[in-house]
Amino acid sequence: MEAVAALFSGFVAGAAVGVLALGIFGPLLVNVPTTNWLRRQFPDPSNWVMVSLGAALVVQAGCAVLGLLLGVLFLNLADGGTNGLGSPSWQFTAGIIACIALLTLGAVAWQRWLWRRFALTALLAAGCYGWMLPHLASA
């Protein structure tokens, strides 16, 4: 039963990250300048809606799968984990925060003008994956 709880909590945390990240980055799909390569490939507005829908589905599914994988990781690390950092397993939470921080720094170095969106998404992902997932799995 513990494995089911960890997998389900990972899926829920990933779905939450996917929905929240889409709310943060979704407006960029509409505001892409017309000089963009992708926008030139789909000049008709109805095609652009379908591309946006496809991107939304990929983001949602990707975040849910990542949550499942992190649920498996938490299940394997939970036995040796101890309480701390407001989490049932401070080792898991610290590892998630470190990985998200490194990914965010790389993303900001790549696209500096999106740093606010990357930072907000990183905070939401750290909260969902680092704290919500262990608390749901331990409940």
Average pLDDT of span 85-108 = 90
Q: How far apart are CA 110 and CA 106, in angstroms?
A: 6
- The answer to whether the predicted template modeling score (pTM) of the entire model surpasses 0.85 is no
8-49 tens-digit pLDDT:
999 999 999 999 988 888 777 666 555 566 667 777 766 777
Contacts of 111 (CB under 8 A, 6+ apart): 118
Q: How far apart are CA 96 and CA 94, in angstroms?
A: 5
Domain boundaries, the chain: 2-138
Secondary structure of residue 81 in the 3-state scheme: coil
Burial of 139 (0-12, 13-18, 19+ CB in 10 A): exposed
Burial 89-128 (b: 16+ CB within 10 A, else e): bbebbebbbeebeeebeebbeeeeeeeebbeebbebbbbb
| Choice between 107 and 34, residue whose per-residue pLDDT is larger | 107
Q: How far apart are CA 49 and CA 18, in angstroms?
A: 19
Contacts of 110 (CB under 8 A, 6+ apart): none
Q: How far apart are CA 99 and CA 105, in angstroms?
A: 10
pLDDT band for 81, please (50, 70, 90 cuts): low
Q: Let me know: does 11 contact 67? Beta carbons within 8 Å.
A: yes
**Residue written as tokens 């309480």?**
83
Q: Which percentage of the chain shows pLDDT scores above 90?
A: 39
Average pLDDT of span 50-57 = 81
Q: Residue 138: its pLDDT value, please?
A: 83
